[in-house]
Amino acid sequence: MKKSSFKSKSANTSYRTEIIHDVPAADVAGIIQEKSKETGYRTHAILPESDGEFTLIFVFDD
Amino acid sequence: MIEIDQNFILFVSDFTTSKKSFDTITELGSILADSASAAFTPASTKTVLSLVSGGLTASRTSVGKNFFYEQSLKALLQQMSAERRSVARDLIKGTGATVDQYPLAAALQDIERYYFAGTIDGAFVGVQKDAAQKEEKANQDIAEIRKISSYAELSKAWIANNGAGAARTKIRAWLNTKDGLHQVLAQAVVVTAAVDSGLEIERIAALLPESEQEKAKTLLKEDRTNKTANFLATYGSRLNTADVVGILPGDALSYVAGSAAEDDPLGINKTSNK
């Protein structure tokens, strides 16, 4: 699994977005549960990848 | 409430002190017996003392394991504290409310809950409740993954029948319904799909003003972990997400649609429900 993060802004609100690539299906639920407990968590998306794994995208308050 | 607190402190103190004392006494007994067995010559005395030492150590291990459940005790005490804090919050909140909002009966019920939260039974109930909630959340997440994978597959078939152009129009319409926080998320999804789809970097860079394109291409040559994040960090605010959708190949479109399965952006569920 590879993780990267960046900052973005929308309507004067700053967010921090975190992208985790290559997440096996079996690990998706656990990672979402852990991340949703982190400070500032707002929402997430699960993007399927061509090899059956997933990319997870989390948005936090900055 | 103060009386319940005092009882709880005494209970925690008794419980932890009794375990420590027992461990120390048996530890000392074991050491003395070991030293004595080394000092005595007759083999029979040595054997008896060694057996006593072994017995003491074994009984400590046994009592430790059977009665105190070692680390479980800590977990139970933590659970009790957490439950007590949670009920205490309700009680404190209630003291600021009117009699109509927080009648005496409700306060007495909360005091009873407060007492129960500080008991072993209460801790077990709390542990079971937490475990059930975690399982429920995990089941929901697993159901979400299944829904996403299945919607992505259905989207592939839909795109094969209706064409990528029709999918782009529908996904753009879906993007228009997003604002603020969800727009940020949708943009990250679409750009990640574009960068991961194997598109030539020239096509992605061409979405930016000419003066920016060389720098964008350099960013897009980085390794997979960094390129999406760095590209979005640098150009996210100037990038039109609908334009990115315009260059997405069919498979990438189906993955973007899958990530939004809840919203049914292609209208697949609406069609199949008719």
Q: Are residues B264 and B154 in the same domain?
A: yes
Give the closest-approach CA distance of A7 to chain B in angstroms. Answer: 6
Give the helix ranges, DSSP H, for B96-209.
104-117, 120-162, 164-176, 181-196, 201-205
Q: What letter does residue B177 receive in the DSSP assignment? A: T
Judge whether B141 lies within some domain: no
A16 to chain B, any CB pair closer than 8 A? The answer is no
Prediction ipTM score: 0.94
Domain closes at, from B128, B158, B192: B128
d(CA B207, CA B212): 10
Please report which helix (H) or strand (E) contains residue B102, including its range: none
Number of domains in chain B: 2
Token representation of residue B215: 């720098």
Judge whether B137 lies within some domain: no
**pLDDT tier at B34 (50, 70, 90 boundaries)?**
low
Token representation of residue B52: 């006593």
Judge whether B134 lies within some domain: no
- What residues of chain B lie within 8 A of the CB of A55, using their CB? 192, 196
Q: Are residues B113 and B150 in the same domain?
A: no
Express each pLDDT in B258-267 by its tens digit: 999 999 999 9
- pLDDT score recorded for residue B189: 95
Judge whether B116 lies within some domain: yes
Judge whether B73 lies within some domain: yes
- State percent of chain B over pLDDT 90: 34
Enclosing domain of residue B200: 146-273
| Chain B interface test: which of A46, A49, A54, A61 (most B C-beta within 10 Å) | A46
Q: Which of B42, B130, B51 is nearest to B83 (CA)?
A: B130
Which is higher by pLDDT, B253 or B59?
B253
Express each pLDDT in B192-224 by its tens digit: 999 989 889 999 999 999 999 999 999 998 887
- pLDDT score recorded for residue B80: 82
Token representation of residue B59: 């009984």
Q: Are residues B124 and B152 in the same domain?
A: no
Residue B13 pLDDT > 50, yes or no?
Answer: yes
- pLDDT score recorded for residue B119: 84
Kindly write down the DSSP assignment for every residue of A1-62, as one continuous string. Answer: -EEEEEEEEETTEEEEEEEEEEE-HHHHHHHHHHHTTSTTEEEEEEEE-TTS-EEEEEEEE-
Q: What's the whole-number average pLDDT of chain B? A: 80
Q: Are residues B150 and B123 in the same domain?
A: no
Contact B181 A43 (CB under 8 A): yes
Express each pLDDT in B157-184 by its tens digit: 999 999 999 999 999 999 999 888 999 9
Contact A19 B229 (CB under 8 A): yes
Judge whether B138 lies within some domain: no
A57 to chain B, any CB pair closer than 8 A? The answer is yes
Judge whether B140 lies within some domain: no
